[in-house]
Amino acid sequence: MPFVRPAIVHSAIMPPAIFAHELTRRFDSFTAVDHINLAVEPGQFFGFLGPNGAGKSTTIKMLTGLLAPSFGSIQILGQDLFSNPVEVKRHIGVVPEGMALFGKLTAREYLVFVGRMYGLDKATAAERAAELLEFMGLANEPRKVIADYSHGMGKKLALAAAVIHGPKVLFLDEPFEGVDAIAAGTLKSMLQGMIARGATIFLTSHVLEIVERLCSHIAIIHRGRIVANGSLDELRAGVQARLTPGVEVDPNARLTLEQIFLNVVGGEAGVTHPEQELTWLS
Amino acid sequence: MAELAPQSRRPAAPWTGRQTRAQFAAIAWLRWRILVNSLRRKGRVGELIGNIVVYLVSASIVVFLVGGAGVAAYYLAGHGHLHRISWMLWGIFILCQLLNIQLAQPSTTFDPTQLIRFPLRVDTYVAIRLFFGLLTPANIVGTLMSLAVAAGIGSAAPALWTYALLTLAVFAATNVLFSRMVFAWVDRWLATRRAREIFTGLIFTFSLGIQWANFTFNPAYSNSHTHHTHGISHQHIHFIITVYRRVRPLLAALPPDLTASSLVAANQAAVASFFAYTLACALFAAAFLTVFALRMRTEFRGESLSDAATGVSRKAVRPAAAKLAHSTSTPAAVAPPTSSSSFGVPSVFVTMLGKELLYVRRHMGILYGLIMPIFLVIIFASKFAARSNSIWIFPTAVAYTLLAICPLSYNSFGFEAEGSQFYFLAPVRMRDILLAKNLFNFLLALVEIIVIFGIISYMTGMPSLQIAAAAMFWAAGTLAISSIFGNRRSISTPKKISSQRMANKQTSKLNAFISMSVLVISAGTAAVLFGICIGFHLRWALVPIFAIFAAIEIGIYIHSLGSLDQFALDHREELFTELCKQS
C-alpha cells in the first residue's frame, strides 16, 4: 500500500513505547498475523483497526504476553517482552478481550487484589479502588460480586483494573463495547487525560467515530498484514491520492475514518454495493 | 446474485405445519450435533481415555441397575409379592431425581431459552423444551429401569405382560415429566446467585443428613464390639415404623404406589381397577405437564431473570474529573518493583491467600468438601469411641481429608475462569501464583487436620503423638507430590467451573483419576509402613521415616516449581482456550 510508512524509524534517545518487529502468529496452516512491524511512539493514542478476523486481538494478545508469537520480537518501553516479562508488565495495563475478571470477588475486592498484584501497598490500592469505583459509577453496590455484573459494568471494571497501577502503556481491546454513552464519555476523557500526562494507549475498536476522535495515529490490519499505518492526516492523504485519479471526489472534502477504512479494506474484504446484493430483503 | 427474486415484496405466506415440522427437525438435529460435538475433544488423548473409562464404568452401572430391576421384578412377581413392586418404583423414582441432580446434561452447552427469538408458537416451544430435556442420562436410566420392571413382570407372569408394559410406560412418563417440571421451576428459582447458594446449601445439608442416617441406621456400621450399641436399636425401628405408617396413606396416592396397585389389580383380574389406577397415574403426568407448560409459557413471553438484569447502576456517572491523576500514568505512579507485607512475606503471597480465602468462602462446593470430612470424623469417632484399636482413626481421617483437598490443586484456575488471564498480564511469576495456591491448600489441610485432631482427642482420647506426627508428615508429603502433578495439570488441562453448576461435574476425569491414584498409592505405601512399624514394635521409627519421606517429597516439589513459569508460557493457549470459552 502506498501510504504504509516504509520503515520503522525510532529515536535513539527515546525508544518507542511499543515496538514489534516481524511479528507473526500461525495457527496450524493459518497465518493470523503475518510479519507485521509496528512502532508506537510514547504519548501516542494509537488506533489499531481491522475487519473481523483480521488479526487485531491476536496482535494485542502477543503484545501483552497472552499469546506466544510464532516469529518476531516485541519491545515495550525499550525492554524485550520475552526476556523481561515481569518488568515490562509492571508498566502496562490491559483490558483484554475476555476482560479477565474474577467472578467471585466484589468490584472493590477485585481492584484491591489487582493493585496489590501490581505491587501497590494495601492503603494505596484501597484508596485508588474506591476512587476508581466512584469514577466509574460502580460504587453503589459494594456487596455485588462481579459474576452478577452486566457486560458494560464488567468493561468499566476491567478498565479500572487496567489503570489502577498508573501504567505507562495501556492496551485496550474493544474498551467501549457495551458501555453506555455517558460512561463512554467519561472514559474517553480519562484516556485523553492519560495521554496528556504522557501515557501511550494502544486501542482496538470497531467504533470508527471513537477512534477518529481519540487517536492521533492509526494502523489498519487486514488478513494479518498491516495495510495502512500513519497519522490520520497521512492516511487521509494516501487514500485521497489513490481516489483522485479515477474517481470524482471533492479534493477539499475531508475523508472520514470510515471512508478511509472502507477504501483500504472494503473492496478487498468483498464488500459490494448493497443494492446489487440480497435483493430479497425488504 | 443480482438475479435473486424480490420475494419479500410479496405478502408473507401463512405459517404451515410443514414449517413447524421443519423446526422440530432442526431442533432434533441441533440436539444431535450438541451431543456429537460434546464428544469431540481436540488433542487430549488422556482426557479421551479418561472419558472412555468413565463411560464404560457408567454403562456397566446402568446395565447393572436395569438388569437388577428386571431380575428383582421377576422375583417379586414370581413369588407373589407384586405389591412390593412399589418399593422398587419408589427407588427408581428417587434414583431418577438424584441422577438428574448429579449428572451434567449435554444440553447445558446450549441455553434453550434462546429459542424464543425464532417464530415458534407457544405449544411448539413447550414441546421443544420438553423434548430437549427428555434425553438426559437420568431420564434414560429411569425409563429403562421401568421397562425392565415391566419385562421382569411379563416374564414371571406372561398374562400381565400387556398390563405391565402399559402401566409402567405411564409411570416412566410420569417420572420424566416430574423431573422436567421440577427442573424448569428450579431453573427459575435459581436464576439469582443468592438463591443458587441457598439451594446448594440445602442440597449439601440433605447430603450430610443422608450420611448421618446411613451411619446411624445402617447395621453395617454398627459396632458389635461394644456393649452399648447393637445395630439399629428398638427405638429406631419403632420410630421408622411409626413414620412409615403415618405417611403410608399419602404414599399410596402417589405414582409409584398407584402403579404397583394397578399391577396388583391386573393380577387379580380387576381390569376396571387397573385402568382406574393407571389413569390416576396418568393424571399426575398430565398435571406435571401442565405445570411445566405454564412455566414454559412464561419463559416464552420473554421473562428476564438473572442478577445482571438488575445490575444497572443508579448513580449518575460523574463527569471526567481530574481526580484520577495520580493513578493514570505518571512515571512516579508506577508501583515499586517489589512490595512486602509487614512480616516480610512477599505481598503476592498475602494477596493471593486473601483472594483464595474469599473464593472458598463464596463457593459452597469447596466448603462442603471441607466440612464433610469433619462431619464424618464426628460420626466415625462417636461410633468407634470404645474401640481399642482406635490407632488408625486419626491417620484414616487425615487421609480422608486429603481426599477433599488434593483435587483442588488439579484445577487451580477453574473457579477464576477468564480471570486467569490476569496472571499472565500482571508482573508476577506463575511460579509464585501456584506456590501461593498450593500454600493455601496446605493451610486448609492443616486447619482441617487440627480440627480433626481436636475432635478425635475429645471423643476417643488423644491420638498417640508419634502416630499424629507421622500422619502429619505423610499429609505434607502427599500434598507436595499431589501439587507437582496438580500444578501442571491445572495449566495444561484446566476445566472452567461455572458457579451455576456443582464442582464435581466440572473436573477433568483424567485429573480426578490421577489425583485419586496419587492418594491411593501414597496412602497404601503409608499403611504398609504403619503396619510394619506397629507390627514389629518400631513405633519410634514412624516419625523419622515419614519425616524423611516428607522432606524428599517437598524437596522434589520445590525443585518442580523452577520450571513452572516456562511450562505456563508453553501451555497458556490451552489454558485460555478452555477457561475463556463461553459457558
| Torsion sign across C-alpha atoms B414, B415, B418, B419 | negative
What is the rounded distance in angstroms from the CA atom of residue A188 to the CA atom of residue A47?
Answer: 13
Model pTM above 0.80: no
CB proximity A7 to B under 8 Å:
no
Could you give the CA distance from residue B534 to residue B473 in angstroms, rounded to a whole number? 17
- Burial label for A252, CB within 10 Å (0-12, 13-18, 19+), is exposed
Which of A132-141, A254-263, B62-71, B258-267 is predicted least confidently?
A254-263
Better-predicted residue by pLDDT, B222 or A228: A228
User: Residue B502's pLDDT is what?
Assistant: 45
- Tens of pLDDT, residue by residue over B432-467, are 999 999 999 999 999 999 998 888 888 878 888 888
CA A29, B109, B49 angle in degrees (round to 5)? 65
Instruction: Note the pLDDT of residue B330.
Output: 47
Q: Which residue has the higher pLDDT, A251 or B405?
A: B405
For the cut 70, the answer to whether the pLDDT of residue B582 exceeds it is no
Bigger pLDDT: B73 or B316?
A: B73
Cβ of A117 within 8 Å of Cβ of B418? The answer is no
pLDDT for residue B8: 46
Model confidence at B205, pLDDT cuts 50, 70, 90, reads confident
The whole-angstrom separation of Cα B120 and Cα B132 is: 15
pLDDT top residue among A83 and A6: A83
Q: Which of A31-35, B9-13, B306-310, B350-354 has the weakest average pLDDT?
A: B306-310
- Smallest Cβ–Cβ distance between B320 and the set A90, A167, A189 belongs to A189
> What does the pLDDT read at residue B293?
92
For residues B459, B465, B470, B473, the Cα torsion angle rounded to the nearest 10 degrees is: 90
Count up the domains in chain A and report the number.
1
Percent of chain A whose predicted confidence (pLDDT) is above 90: 41
pLDDT in tens, B208-217: 777 777 766 6
Q: B107, B132 in Cβ contact below 8 A? A: yes
Average pLDDT score over residue span A92-119: 87
Percent of chain B at pLDDT above 70?
Answer: 77
A259/chain B closest Cα distance in angstroms: 25
> What is the mean pLDDT of the segment spanning A92-104?
86
* Burial of B66: CB neighbours in 10 Å, binned 0-12, 13-18, 19+: buried
For residues A85-104, average pLDDT: 86
Contacts of B583 in chain A (CB under 8 A): none
Closest partner CB to B358 (pick from A100, A105, A139): A105
Helices H, strands E: what count in chain B? 19, 0
| Cβ neighbours of A96 in B, within 8 Å | 421, 425
Q: Which residues in chain B are closer than 8 Å to A198, comparing Cβ atoms?
A: 329-331
Q: What is the pLDDT of residues B544-572, one digit of tens each?
A: 999 999 999 999 999 999 999 999 988 88
Compute the half-sphere exposure of residue A112: CA atoms within 13 Å on the CB side of its CA: 16
Angle at A187 between CA A184 and CA A190, to 5 degrees: 155
A231 domain residue, yes or no: yes
Task: Kindly report the nearest CA distance between residue A250 and chain B, in angstroms.
Answer: 30
Neighbours of B232 (CB within 10 A): 15
Contact B152, B69 (CB under 8 A): yes
Name the band, by pLDDT with cuts 50, 70 and 90, for residue A249: low
Mean pLDDT rounded to a whole number for chain A: 85
- The dihedral over CA atoms of B457, B463, B464, B466, expressed in degrees to the nearest 10, equals -110
Q: Does the pLDDT at position B385 exceed 80? A: no
Distance, CA of B553 to CA of B545 (rounded, Å): 12
- Cβ neighbors of A232 (< 8 A, separation 6 or more) are A212, A215, A216, A217, A218, A257
Higher-confidence position of B405 and B202: B405
Which of A77, A81, A91, A118 to mutate against chain B (most B CBs within 10 Å)? A118
In a domain, A154, yes or no: yes
The confidence band for B303, taking pLDDT boundaries of 50, 70 and 90, is: low
> pLDDT at residue B66 above 90?
yes
Domain contains A10 = no
Domain contains A271: no
CB B50 within 8 A of CB B510: yes
Q: What is the mean pLDDT of chain B?
A: 79
Q: What is the pLDDT of residue B490?
A: 92
In a domain, A140, yes or no: no
A108 is a domain residue: no
Measured between CB atoms, does A274 come within 8 Å of chain B? no
Q: What is the CATH number of the domain that holds A55?
A: 3.40.50.300
Which structural domain range is residue A48 located in? Answer: 18-101+149-266
Helix B85-102 and helix B255-267, axial crossing angle in degrees, nearest 10: 150
pLDDT of residue B473: 94
Per residue in B492-544, pLDDT tens? 888 887 655 444 445 677 888 889 899 999 999 999 998 888 888 888 898 99
% of chain A at pLDDT higher than 70:
88
Q: What DSSP assignment string belongs to A130-161?
A: HHHHHHHT-TT-TT-BGGGS-HHHHHHHHHHH
pLDDT tens for each residue of B327-355: 454 444 455 545 555 566 778 888 999 99
> What's residue B302's pLDDT?
66
Q: pLDDT, tens digit, for every residue of B133-154?
A: 777 788 889 999 999 999 999 9
User: Which helix (H) or strand (E) is A22 found in, with range?
Assistant: strand A18-27
**Facing residue for A165 by CB, picked from B324, B335, B418:** B335
Residue B388: per-residue pLDDT? 56
User: Does the pLDDT at position B111 exceed 80?
Assistant: no
Residues 91-150 of A with CB under 8 A from B: 91-92, 94, 96-105, 109, 113-121, 128, 131-132, 134-141, 144-145, 147-150
pLDDT band at A18 (very low <50, low <70, confident <90, very high): very high
The top-scoring range by mean pLDDT among A114-118, A179-183, A274-278, B322-326 is: A114-118
- Does B323 or A43 have the greater pLDDT score? A43
- What is the predicted pLDDT for the residue at B309? 40
List chain B residues with CB under 8 Å of A190: 320, 324, 328
DSSP-derived secondary structure letter, A48: E
